[in-house]
Amino acid sequence: MKRLFFKYIVICLFLTTPLWAEPGLPAMFGDGMVLQQESKVAVFGWASPGEMITVRGSWKRRSVTTKADKNGKWMLRLKTPKAGGPYTLSVRGLEEIEFKDVMIGEVWLCSGQSNMDMWMTKGDGKGGVLNYEEEIRAADYPDIRLFQVKKQVAENPQENCIGTWKVCNPENVAKFSAVAYYFGREIHANLDVPVGLIQSSWGGTPAEAWTSREALESSANCHPYLEKYDRVIRSKDETERLMKAYREDLNKWLVESYFLDRHVWRSWIAPDFDDSDWQTMNLPTNWEAAGLPDFDGVVWFRKRFIVTEKFLGKELVLDLGQVDDMDRTFINGKKVGEIQERGKWRTVREYPVPADLLVPGENLISVRVMDYKGSGGIYAAGDHLKLIAKDDSSLTISLAGEWRYKVAYDLKEHRPIPDKPGVLDKYTATSLYNAMIAPLIPYTIKGVIWYQGESNRKQAYLYRDLFPLMIADWRQRWGQGDFPFYYVQIAPFKYRNKAPVAAVLRESQLLSLVVPNTGMAVTMDIGDVNDIHPRDKKEVGRRLSLWALAKTYDVKGVDYSGPLYKTMKIEDSRIRIYFDYADKGLSVKGDSLNHFTIAGSDSVFLQAKAKIEGNSVVVWNDNIKNPLAVRYGWSNTAELNLYNSAGLPASPFRTDNFRAPTQMTSDN
């Protein structure tokens, strides 16, 4: 009996003790990966506690050995040579793993929200980069490697992520970050070395989601982010209960909303309905920009279009583009599709149109659009708003242009839309750091490029604390010192909020340049005020690369920054502005400088005249005799035209320190 009991104990121990047939490594290690050149790169993973791990690169005769700790974790440093490859990397424990096609070069982490996340090709609610078909065909660079971190959230820091290394070719680059690709291509072209690009980005996300809990705890101003986090962390059963109640109430709310215009909608989808007294609107656009300011509710749109013989009998696809927020769409009185969910305003509507639905000659499309928050309308960013033959994409019917519209009801007539209960999502503080950054640490990188900020504009003043805090957080955790951190200043866009919150956010980004080894690419001249995802990502990537080439790689003769405000001098009734990065002079694109304003003692800013004099700008308004302050590009939508001799644009700025929108206290 004793012997049987002893056998039982041994079997239980055998079954519950983790056994590793081979060492385990994070997804970052795989065939085709890029390791940072001329470094002691971190190689790390898991094994049985106490197991000896030996790592060797084929570029080096000697191997490096370490032992897994009591939790089975191990990490060692392996010296890498100058750029080259392909090599192999072997990791041996009880058994051996060998990674093939390993390149040695430059590794960059590329992170942020939707403008970093934006693909080369169109899709995911965005229009694709300029000339995307041609650009993708040309993207054949076997020495550039791409790693895309799967979008996930987590309550606590994770040890692994999902992703694989892929060679840069037309197929793999199409749905990869355009900014990251163009940046990497410039580095590769100028240095002639392999480049590894790690994309960890997610549209619509705020900076606090990319920051660790410990970092946020260290700043009193950031504690509200953690208070919100603590509210959404609850038991699974409680979350499910709240979500079930929310979905039921939302469905009830939607049914109620249909009844508010039930007396009209059936007639408004009919082809023979007389809509001649309706107003007109050119689509695509958001309706705030087209005559319906600050309106939330339901608007019906109708448009007649002509169908020729070549489209008859064909199955078509209606590409309506993006609709903010919900739609029900009809052609010739029959519903072809709808999205009645919250949070789908970025989702492209592509609805199948049966072959027998269209008739020769005049046809009608009618769309019921409900907007419950923010801007509304059929804004169809990119190449959308058309009918396309399913079997021949060259056959299209454009639906852009003049539509007739009529307001069905104002949302003020209805009870407020139910609030979604707080859940752990991409907006929650720390959630993306935990799931999409922590698993990458301490994989050795050269630096970071970052494109984010739009989602923090409602706390734009606080961003001057939050953003440097996040940079410091990442650097401390990687343990590589103050690695380069280059970022993009957000572009002009027509936000619904008329207060210049985007200008305050840009100022916070500008002030973050005091953080050592940072750089900022200005995009005030290459944005699109009607599209928050401007398509000229090639120039964004190039401007980021200028910082890296000049400051990180010490390439001589590279101008990397546009003019940055340095100081001002009052000269009688005028103010002279001096700049850094303007030693070789300034220039203007267009007839005259734009978007300068000036104020006197009353702090009221008026449009100003401005002219370039050498490497300074003189600003004045004939009605202000004693000026005190100047602002440049201080709005959400300003498209600027002041450059230095290198053709790089000046950042917006202000010389005053008056209280700014979103500034809560004088020392916030």
130 CB contacts (<8 Å, ≥6 apart)?
535, 536, 537, 538
The structure's pTM equals 0.80
For the domain spanning 254-413, the CATH number is 2.60.120.260
pLDDT for residue 234: 66
- Residue 244, judged by CB atoms within 10 A of its CB (0-12, 13-18, 19+), counts as exposed
Could you give the CA distance from residue 347 to residue 370 in angstroms, rounded to a whole number? 14
Does a cis peptide bond (omega within 30 degrees of 0) precede residue 86?
Answer: yes
Where exactly does CATH 2.60.120.260 map onto the chain? 254-413
How confident is the model over 443-499, as pLDDT tens digits?
A: 999 999 999 999 999 999 999 999 999 999 999 999 999 999 999 999 999 987 789
Tokens 């993306």, located at residue: 432
- Residue 320, judged by CB atoms within 10 A of its CB (0-12, 13-18, 19+), counts as buried
**Helix, coil or strand: residue 335:** strand
How confident is the model over 213-252, as pLDDT tens digits?
A: 999 999 999 999 998 888 777 666 777 788 888 888 888 8
pLDDT for residue 236: 66
Beta strands in 479-580, from DSSP E residues, in sequence order: 485-488, 518-521, 564-571, 574-580
Half-sphere exposure of 82 (CA within 13 A, CB side): 3
Ramachandran quadrant class, 123 (left: phi over 0; alpha: psi -120 to 50; beta: rest) = left
**Averaged pLDDT in 10-residue chunks for the chain of 668 residues:** 40 39 85 98 96 97 96 96 98 95 98 97 84 97 98 95 98 98 98 98 97 96 89 73 85 81 79 94 87 87 94 93 91 94 83 94 95 84 84 90 92 81 86 98 98 96 98 98 98 88 98 98 96 95 98 98 98 98 96 97 97 97 97 97 98 96 63
pLDDT for residue 374: 77
**Helix, coil or strand: residue 220:** helix
Q: CA torsion angle for 220, 225, 228, 230 (degrees, to 10)? A: -70
Could you give the CA distance from residue 282 to residue 401 in angstroms, rounded to a whole number? 5
Start-to-end CA distance of the chain, whole Å, equals: 73
pLDDT for residue 498: 80
- Phi, psi at residue 252, to the nearest 5°? -65, -40
For 423, the token pair is: 């859940």
For 259, the token pair is: 């009844």
pLDDT for residue 290: 83
pLDDT for residue 665: 47
567 CB contacts (<8 Å, ≥6 apart)?
577, 578
Could you give the CA distance from residue 480 to residue 245 in angstroms, rounded to a whole number? 48
Could you give the CA distance from residue 33 to residue 98 in angstroms, rounded to a whole number? 12
Cβ count near 525 (within 10 Å) = 20
Could you give the CA distance from residue 59 to residue 79 in angstroms, rounded to a whole number? 10
**Helix, coil or strand: residue 245:** helix
Tell me, what amino acid is at 267? S
